[in-house]
Amino acid sequence: MVIGHVPRVVIAAPASGTGKTTVATGLMAALTRRGLAVSPHKVGPDYIDPGYHALATGRPGRNLDPWLTGEDLVAPLFLHGAAGADIAVVEGVMGLYDGAGSGEFASTAHVARLLEAPVVLVVDAARQSRSVAALVHGFASYDTRLRFGGVILNRVGSERHENLLREVLAESGVPVLGAIRRSDAVATPSRHLGLVPAAERRAPAGEAMEAAEALVAASCDLEAIVRLARTAPPLTVHPWDPASAIDSTAGVPDLAAVLGPAPDAVPAAVPADVRGAGPDGVTVAVAAGRAFTFGYAEQAELLSAAGAEIVTFDPLTDETLPAGTRGIVIGGGFPEVYAADLAANEPLRKEIAAFAGPIAAECAGLLYLARSLDGLPMCGVVAAEAEMTGTLTLGYRDAVAVRDSVLTGSGERYRGHEFHRTAVRPAPDRPLFRWRGGADGFADGRVTASYLHLHWAGAPHLAARFARACRRGAVPSR
C-alpha cells in the first residue's frame, strides 16, 4: 500500500551547537528560493526552531516527537504537514542518537527510522582534520539501520582546510555534500531559553535567514541533496487528519460537570457533535504576538475540526478579546521578557480576569494568568505569584491527571514537556498533574493552567472537550 511519497532528508549532528539549525534553515530557504515547495519539520518538542523554519519556507514549522504523540503518529503527522510539498527537510534535535532519558527513544535517529529518511550529518570541523573521518565513521556505523547520505562540514577555516577534510573523508565512503566557511552573518542571538524566536525579531531574523540561504547555496551541493531526498521510499501510512482525530473521540466523556450549570446565554439544546461551522460554532481566542510565540500547529487544526473558529489576539497590544470569544488558549512564550508591557495593558487583563468561559494555558500562559510576574500585575486568574529564577527546568514528563478539569479526566495519562526558568508560588495545593518526582497544574473547573506542554495530536480529546466546554459553558464576550 503506497500512500505518501514525499522526498525527504534529515539534517542531524553529533551534538548541539554544531550549526545544525543554521544549515537546516539555510537549506530550506535555498530550496524554496529555487521554486520548490519545502515542508519544514523539527524533531523534538522545541518551538523556536520551527518559527525560523516557517520564515524560510512560508509553511508552518511542524514538530515530530514520538514521546509527545506516540511513535505511530510520527509518519502520519509528517505526511499531513508535507501535503503538497516537493521536498521535506527535517531538522534533528541534539546529537543524532540522544533521546529521552538514557535511551534513543524520541531521538533524531528514532525519527529518521520511522520516516525511512536518509541522514545528512552536520559536523563542526573547526580545529580538527583527520579526526573528522573517525567521527563520521563512528556515527555512520553505530546504527546500521540508518542510511547515511552524506556529511556537511561546517565552520571550515580555509580552502586548504576544506581540501584536507575532503581528502580524509573520501576514505570513509560518506559523500561530502557541503563545506561551509565560518560566518558571523548568520548568528542568531540567544537568551535564557535558547534562540530568540523569529517572531520577536522579524527584520533581523529575515536578514539572518537570507545570509544563511546564501551561505548554504554557495557551499552545498543542492542538487545532490535533492537527489538524496528522492531516494527515500514511499511511506505506507495514511496522513493524519484532524477531522478523523476528532471523530475518534466520540466516546470520550465530556467532563461537563466541572463547569456547573450552563449559563442562560448559551442555548440549552446543544448538539453532541462538536463539528460544524454553523451557528453552533464557537470562537476560540488564541494568544499570539511577541510574548506568546509557542504553539503546535495541530492544536488549532484540531479545534477547527471540532467546530471552533480560531481568532488570534495579542496581549501586548489588544485591549479587548475578539468579539464573541467563548474560550481562550494561551500557549508558551516569553511573557517574562515583556512583563512590563503586559502589565500596562490593564483593560485586557481585567477582561480575562472576568471571563466566564474555559481557559487553557501552558507555561507562559500560566505566568500571564498569575496574580503577578516579577512583581508586575498580571491577570489574577491563578492564585499564585510568578517570578524568574536561576534554575532551568527541562525535560519530558510522564504525567497522570489526578483531577477532573475542563480538559482532563482523573486517572488519564499524558506525556508532556517542561522548559522554563520561572516558578509560581505557592504551588497548587491540589495539582492537576503528578509524575515521578513532581506535580504541577492549577484547575478550578473552567481554567487549566500548567507548566506542562502537551501536543494535542497525541490526545485529540483535549480539543473535543475544550470545544464542547466552550459551547456549553461560556457567555460570549461582548
CB-based burial label for 60 (10 Å; 0-12, 13-18, 19+): middle
The per-residue pLDDT string of the chain (478 residues; one tens digit each, 9 = 90 and over) reads: 445 689 999 999 999 999 999 999 999 999 999 999 999 999 999 988 898 899 999 999 999 999 999 999 999 999 999 999 999 999 999 999 999 877 899 999 999 999 999 999 999 999 999 999 999 999 999 999 999 999 999 999 999 999 999 999 998 888 999 999 987 655 554 434 445 565 555 566 677 788 889 999 999 999 999 999 999 999 999 999 999 999 999 877 766 556 555 443 333 233 334 333 334 579 999 999 999 998 999 999 999 999 999 999 999 999 999 999 999 999 999 899 999 999 999 999 999 999 999 999 999 999 999 999 999 999 999 999 999 998 988 999 999 999 999 999 999 999 999 988 899 999 999 999 999 989 999 998 799 999 999 999 999 999 999 999 998 864 444 4
Q: What is the DSSP string of 82-131?
A: TTT-SEEEEE--SSTT--STTS-TTSHHHHHHHHT--EEEEEE-TT-STH
Amino acid at 29: A
Residues linked to residue 220 through DSSP beta bridges, in sequence order: 178
**Shortest CA distance to 23 belongs to which of 44, 63, 53, 43?**
53
Q: How many CA atoms lie within 13 A of 27 on its CB side?
A: 33
Q: What is the pLDDT of residue 171?
A: 83
Count, in order, helices (H) and strands (E) of the chain.
15, 21
- Which residues, other chains included, contact 199 with Cβ-Cβ below 8 Å and sequence gap of 6+? 51, 289, 290, 293
Amino acid at 385: E
Q: Are residues 305 and 275 in contact, defined by beta-carbon separation less than 8 angstroms?
A: yes
- For residue 351, give the 3-state DSSP assignment: helix
pLDDT, tens only, 138-180: 999 999 999 999 999 999 999 999 999 999 999 888 899 999 9
Question: Do β-strands 325-330 and 359-362 pair in parallel, antiparallel, or remain unpaired?
Answer: parallel
CB-based burial label for 323 (10 Å; 0-12, 13-18, 19+): exposed
- Residue among 220, 363, 379, 470 flagged as catalytic: 363
Q: Are residues 473 and 313 in contact, defined by beta-carbon separation less than 8 angstroms?
A: no
pTM over 0.85: yes
pLDDT, tens only, 385-426: 999 998 988 999 999 999 999 999 999 999 999 988 899 999
Q: What is the pLDDT of residue 260?
A: 57
- Show the cell assigned to 256: 461537563
Q: What is the pLDDT of residue 27?
A: 97
Q: What is the pLDDT of residue 270?
A: 32
How distant is the alpha carbon of residue 193 from its chain centre? Answer: 14
363 part of the active site: yes
**SS3 assignment for 246-302:** HHCCCCCCCCHHHHCCCCCCCCCCCCCCCCCCCCCCEEEEEECCCCCCECCHHHHHH
**Domains of the chain as residue ranges with CATH:** 8-229 (3.40.50.300), 242-473 (3.40.50.880)
Cα 363 from Cα 449, distance rounded (Å): 8
Helix (H) or strand (E) holding 143: none
Our CA angle for 185, 191, 193, nearest 5°, is 120
Question: What is the chain's alpha carbon radius of gyration, rounded to the nearest angstrom?
Answer: 23
Q: What is the pLDDT of residue 268?
A: 29
